[in-house]
Structure formats: structure tokens, C-alpha cells
Chains A and B, each alone.
Chain A
Amino acid sequence: MKKSEFSDPFEKARVDKGYGKMNDQDDPVTMVLRLKDVRKCAHSWKTFQSGAEPGRIVVPSEVNIRDTRQIPFEVDPPMHKAYRDLIEDWFKRPLGKEYQQKLKKITDAIIEEVLTMDSVEIVEEFSLRLQSRALTLLLNTPYEESETWISWGTHVFRSKDTALDGDKANILYNYIDQEIDKAIKNPGTDLYSVLLACEVDGKKLTKEEVKGVMILTFAGGRDTVINAVTNSIAYFADHPESLKLLKEKPEIIGKAVEELIRYFAPLTHMGRVATEDTHVCEHAVKQDTRISLCWASANRDASIFEKPNEVVLDRKLNPHVSFGFSHHKCLGATHARQIMNVLLTSLAEKITSIDLIDCKENIENLDEFKRKVGYDSLTVKFNKR
């Protein structure tokens, strides 16, 4: 098996029964595995709510390390829409030419630097730096802020020793509190200031609400972007012919981005809490218990995707759910897609091949399923075009 392969641990359960079970801190989860069921449950916000106790819809649950409600992520309609409408346009800024040019400059600078090195550890020295520097564009904060975020390491909530690290989470929460206070004193053009000036139902957003949006923006786009970038580098190390294809046919880069994101599903699943006794695939789901929408499994559903376990870079129909589905679909998807688009463009322009020197896989333990979601470390050497 190639180092860049991501197998599908859900296949048997998805085909045989359509769901799986996992325990998580004594708050069990019924995992929904088929694409159509995942979509239906994601859409049914009245039965499967997001607005439960803060942290509970995340798997593993963050109930014990967080009180702040992430917004609009942990809010149900109709309030969800009121919040989302406030920030939707801001999160579409990555579609602008100037934003894309700045992102290209950031990406090219990192690639030029690693090209001079005999070997580079991708997670820390490439993906984390790219993710952090790109985030300064999304937040419209000074470039130098990224140095602070890089210094936090690869995970905001998770550390190597424990699944959930409250101390590390507090580093982020305290930082955001400070930045909000700074923006109150000196309003500028960054996301903090924009949010502080926003109103919902004629009332200014509170500090706690601003914090809720900012935590979501930081946490939602960290591990996920780092996994997408790192896994893509591993893929191109195993597939130099794909880099050549993108160089010759840059017009397929948009499709390639979607396909890599489908295949990797950088976020395995996301939870919901049942508001009533119901069922999924004829399996009873009790009120006030959790389900999860398993994006990673749905993306390999052979009833929708031909050759689901192969990376087909120019796949024409690709209704994947890596960015979620329906009301709560990923707010940062436009930004993430641009990062990937620019990355693939720059790699195709500057690199002929990548030598994979060493890697340590990051395997998630989901009880009956063990899923590779990325790498703890990936050491490579880039070869210049």
C-alpha cells in the first residue's frame, strides 16, 4: 500500500447496515455512514440540532473544555441565518483577485524556501505555516500575527498526550479575548472590528458572540487545512505523473482540488443531538443522544461515486460532503478551496517530483473504526522544475 493511500474503514458497516457506533466520554455516537442519509440528517435541523450544549456536537466532545458557543456553528435556524448573513460576504472575500494574489505570494515564498532545504517536515514547517499565514488574509490582520499562531503548534485543542487539552484551548481563548479588547479600543478593518460593529435584531454583538465566531474561525480551519495540505503533498510524492498532468492541464486544477478534498475528508465527522426519539437506517436514536454525520464515509459511497477509493483528479461529478451540507456547510470553504487551488498551481509550476523520506500516520480511534486522517509527521525533499 502506498504511503499516500487513505483506505475506507467504513465500507462494510456502510453497505451492511448504514451506521456505526462509537463511545466518546460516555456520550455515545451513532455514526451515519451513507451519503444520502448524511445529507438528509444534516438538513433535518429540527430533529438533529446543532444548538445543544456548547461543545457537544463536536466528536470528541468539547463540553468539558469550552463554555463559549461557536457561532453560527452551534446555533439552529432561524437565529443561525441571522448570524450567518452577517458574515457570509466576509468569508467570500477569497473569491477576489487581490486576495488570491496575496495568497499566491505567501504560498510561493514557502515553496521557494523549502526548495533550498535537503529535507522538510511538512506538518510543522510547511502546512502549519501556510495555514497560519493564509489566515491573516481571512482575518485581515497583520502578517506578523501568524508567528504567534505558528508558535502554538499543530493542534489548538488536541495534543500528543491527551485527546483534549484544556490548557492549549485556553491559550487560544485568552488570545482571542485580548484581540477583541484591542479592537474595542482601536477599531480597525480586521474581522474582530467588523464583528464588533455588527448588529443582530438591532443589538450589537456581545463580546461573547464575537468570541464565538472567532473560536470557530481559528479552530475550524486549523487541523482541517493542515491535513488537506499535508495529505496532498504525500499524494504528489507518490504520484509525480499527477504534478505533470496539472502542469500540462492547469484547467483541471479546480476539479483536482475537489477530488483531493473528497478523498482525504480532512474532517471525519460532525455531530448533532436528537431532539426527539427517531431513527437512522431503522436503528433507534433516542432523544438527547448524539448522531454524527460521517463525511469521510459518505465520500466513499459506491452508490454515488464511481471508483470511490481512487483519486480521479478530473472527476466530473463530485458531490462530496467534505465541507458538510445544508445550513451549516463550512463557512471557511471558499478560503480553504483557494488555499488548495493556489497550492496545486504553485506546486505544478515549481516542482517536478517530491521524495518521501519518512512519515508517521495519524490514525483516529473511532472504536469499531480506525481511520487515517493525516500524518503526525511527513518528511520529504522537493525537487525543482
Chain B
Amino acid sequence: MAKITFITSDNESTTLEATSGSVMQLAVDNGIAGIDGDCGGVCSCATCHVHVLPEHFKKIGEPSEIEKDMLELDDNVNEYSRLCCQIEVTNSIDGAVLRVAK
């Protein structure tokens, strides 16, 4: 079981629990504003962009090369950017805090 917190653009904070699946799916299933996940999680639509809070980035980890290429040309990218369809829910990411990118 992992607890994951999403902070939306209007600074609303929601903490959700899950044991498996992708972080994008967890957000979509719970109606987190700003996470659409249009492509169903295959790294095509970039509608699930989050900024991991710096202190949590190590446990979330670096994006793959394909994900990096997608993010590289996003206007709101920073060094803590991830597409959350590419983050698997596991115990190791328990407590992570993610800010939904605009």
C-alpha cells in the first residue's frame, strides 16, 4: 500500500491510497483536476504531467529516454517533471507528493 498526494493548480491537496497500477490511473479514477490521461498510459498525450516535490524525486526516479523526449519540449518542464502514467504504484513510492503541472 502506498499513499500518494496530489496538489492541483488551485493548491488543493488530495491523498490517495493504492497497491498497484499507474499513478495516472489512480489520479484519473479519483478525478484529480489536470490529470486527463487521454492516451490510457502509453506516453503519447502528455496530459498527466506532474512535478515531483524535490525531496521525493529520488524514490520516484528518473524518466526513461522516451519520456524525457516527450517532456523536453513541454513549456512547463523542470528537473522534477514526470509523466505519471509512467510511474508504477509500489510500496517504494509511499508518501510521494506530486504537483500537477499547468
Interface residue ranges, A against B (CB under 8 Å) = 36, 39-40, 43, 92, 95, 254-255, 257-258, 262, 304, 315-320, 323, 325-326, 329, 333-334, 337
Main secondary structure of the interface of A (DSSP, over half): helix
Determine if B42 is an interface residue (Cβ-Cβ < 8 Å). yes
Known: A40-B73, A92-B36. A323 touches B42 (CB 8 A): no
Is B42 a contact of A258 with CB atoms below 8 Å?
A: yes
Question: CB distance B73 to A43 under 8 Å?
Answer: yes
- Residues of chain B lying within 8 A (CB to CB) of residue A40: 73
Closest chain B residue to A39, Cβ basis:
B73
Give the A-binding residues of B (Cβ under 8 A). 36, 38-45, 64, 66, 69-70, 73
Interfacial chain A residues near B69, Cβ < 8 Å? 36, 39, 319
Is A315 within 8 A of B42, CB to CB? yes
Q: List the A residue with the shortest CB-CB distance to B41.
A: A254
Specify which chain A residues have a CB less than 8 angstroms from the CB of B73 in the assembled complex: 39-40, 43, 325-326
- Identify the interface centre among B42, B64, B66, B70: most chain A CB within 10 Å of its CB: B42
Chain B minimum-CB-distance residue to A329: B45
- A45 and B82 alpha carbons, distance in the complex (Å): 24
13 of the cross-chain contacts (CB-CB < 8 Å) are A254-B41, A255-B42, A258-B44, A318-B39, A319-B42, A319-B43, A319-B44, A319-B70, A320-B44, A323-B45, A326-B73, A333-B38, A334-B36
Closest to B72 in A: A39
Taking a contact as CB atoms under 8 Å apart, the answer to whether A319 and B40 are in contact is no
Bound together, the chains give a CA A348 to CA B40 distance in angstroms of 18
| Of B36, B41, B44, most A-chain CB atoms within 10 Å | B44
With both chains docked as a complex, state the minimum distance between the C-beta of A340 and any C-beta of chain B, in angstroms.
11
Given that A39-B73, A43-B73, A326-B73 are contacting pairs, would A319 and B66 also be in contact in the complex, using a CB cutoff of 8 Å? Answer: yes
Question: Which B residues touch A320, using CB under 8 A?
Answer: 44
- Distance between B19 CB and nearest chain A CB, rounded to angstroms: 16
Task: Give the shortest distance, in Å, between B84 (CB) and chain A (any CB).
Answer: 15
Q: Using Cβ atoms and an 8 Å threshold, which residues of chain B touch A334?
A: 36, 38
Question: A257 contacts which chain B residues (CB < 8 A)?
Answer: 40
CA–CA, A254 and B37, complex, Å = 11
Q: Which residues of A contact B40 (CB under 8 A)?
A: 254-255, 257-258
Q: Which residues of the other chain, B, contact A36 by a CB distance below 8 angstroms?
A: 69
Bound together, the chains give a CA A262 to CA B44 distance in angstroms of 10
Q: Which residues of A contact B66 (CB under 8 A)?
A: 304, 317, 319
